[in-house]
Amino acid sequence: MPKLSVIINPIAGTKDKSQIPDLVRKTLAQHWDVEILNTQHRGHATELAREAAQRGVEAVLAVGGDGTVNETATGLVGTDTALAILPMGSGNGLARHLQIPMAQLAAIEHLKTAAVRTIDSCQMNGQAFFCTAGMGFDAHIAYLFAQQHTRGLSTYVRTTLNEFFSYKPQRYTLHFDNQTQVREAFLITFANANQFGNNAFIAPLADIQDGKMDVCVMSQFPLYQAAGIGLRMFAKNIHRSNFMETWKSGGVVVEREQEGSVHLDGEPVQMGKTLELSMKPQSLKVLVSPKADFV
Ligand SMILES: Nc1ncnc2c1ncn2[C@@H]1O[C@H](COP(=O)(O)OP(=O)(O)OP(=O)(O)O)[C@@H](O)[C@H]1O
């Protein structure tokens, strides 16, 4: 029987996880030889996933949000061990892109019949991301969100609304594919997957298997346009907005005026003024439904 390492981040999301080990073992008893591992600290999921891959474990199930998925996948890039996801975060962007069920039991049950596919991964200054990374307003929010005592969607929405009014766009110089673009941007997103999470599609045309990232530059917009921009993201047509420009590229160098926050899969990280974005095409195996029709 193939082996499945389950890596649980006990602090991710807002839902109770105490029943998960029993539920996974019981549901998958006929299909997977299950071991349960709990993270003890930030970055631990990468160590646990890397060790599991070295032991030849067939798949690792990340239980948590996009941060846990990022850390787990970082340990699996370039190995034969596949990433599976039990989404327990507030956004679950990569899981949604990969059409993994959001309901707990359904996400576990689908591992009975899941198929292995291979997706791209990306890096910013050598640190891996799999869904989206970026700078500007969303990175600023990710930084502030990490300082909050409460998590979940309502905290995220409250933080976003509070900050919108005072945020000042920065000037960025982007070098890619023999061109240079200079923009005053509200945010810049580098999208491997098509969404931030919560079905907010920042890059509706992103293809996670094409060896390219979508470079999405959103300019500052007046307040009365905010609802329209939000609706466009949920309607998958933000790329047609006058406030958005999108390119596809295999690698970008960004120069910005100030060092500070960026985000990698929603996790805030502090970086310098120069940011190098690169791709590792077809570098991560994932377990998804055989019927999944993501691109
Ligand atoms: N045992 C632990 N104690 C404290 N922090 C941990 C532990 N294990 C992992 N972490 C950290 O928890 C952070 C949050 O994880 P994750 O992103 O999965 O959950 P979330 O923030 O609730 O979900 P979302 O990203 O969807 O909002 C990650 O940065 C990870 O490094």
ipTM of the complex: 0.97
Q: What is the pLDDT of residue 165?
A: 83
Residue 214, ligand 1, Cβ within 6 A: no
In the chain, CATH 2.60.200.40 covers 127-280
Q: What is the pLDDT of residue 244?
A: 97
pLDDT at 206 over 80: yes
pLDDT bracket for residue 151 (50, 70, 90): low
- Dihedral angle sign, alpha carbons of residues 81, 13, 261, 139: positive
Residue 89, ligand 1, Cβ within 6 A: yes
Strand partners, 277: 124, 252
Q: Which helix (H) or strand (E) holds 143?
A: helix 137-147
Strand partners, 59: 4, 82
Output the CA 246–ligand 1 centroid distance in Å: 30
Nearest to 211 by CA among 134, 274, 287, 118: 118
Q: Long-range contacts for 158-166 (Cβ within 8 Å, ≥24 apart)? A: 163/137, 164/137, 164/223, 164/226, 165/223
Architecture of domain 127-280: Sandwich (2.60)
Q: What is the pLDDT of residue 245?
A: 98
Nearest to 81 by CA among 3, 1, 7, 9: 3
Name the residue with higher pLDDT: 211 or 89: 211
Pocket test for ligand 1, best of 15, 42, 90 (most atoms within 8 A of CB): 42
Average pLDDT over all residues of the chain:
95
In the chain, CATH 3.40.50.10330 covers 3-120+284-288
pLDDT at 156 over 80: no
Residue 40, ligand 1, Cβ within 6 A: yes
pLDDT at 169 over 70: yes
- Interval 126-134 mean pLDDT: 97
What is the Rg, in whole angstroms, of the alpha carbon atoms belonging to the chain?
Answer: 19
The DSSP call for residue 15 is S
Output the CA 127–ligand 1 centroid distance in Å: 17
- Give the type of residue at 151: R
Residue 90, ligand 1, Cβ within 6 A: yes
pLDDT, tens digit, for every residue of 61-118?
A: 999 999 999 999 999 999 999 999 999 998 899 999 999 999 999 999 999 999 999 9
Q: What is the pLDDT of residue 157?
A: 80
Q: What is the pLDDT of residue 98?
A: 98
According to CATH, the superfamily of the domain at 3-120+284-288 is Probable inorganic polyphosphate/atp-NAD kinase; domain 1 (3.40.50.10330)
pLDDT at 160 over 90: no
- Interval 46-74 mean pLDDT: 97
Output the CA 171–ligand 1 centroid distance in Å: 31
* Residues in contact with 234: Cβ distance below 8 Å, sequence separation at least 6, in sequence order: 199, 200, 201
Q: What is the pLDDT of residue 135?
A: 97
Q: What is the pLDDT of residue 142?
A: 85
pLDDT, tens digit, for every residue of 21-40?
A: 999 999 999 999 999 999 99
Q: Are 75 and 282 in contact (CB under 8 A)?
A: no
Q: Are 128 and 43 in contact (CB under 8 A)?
A: no
Instruction: Please give the backbone phi and psi of residue 294, each rounded to the nearest 5 degrees, phi first.
Output: -70, 160
Residue 272, ligand 1, Cβ within 6 A: no
pLDDT, tens digit, for every residue of 215-267?
A: 999 999 988 898 899 999 999 999 999 999 999 999 999 999 999 999 999 99
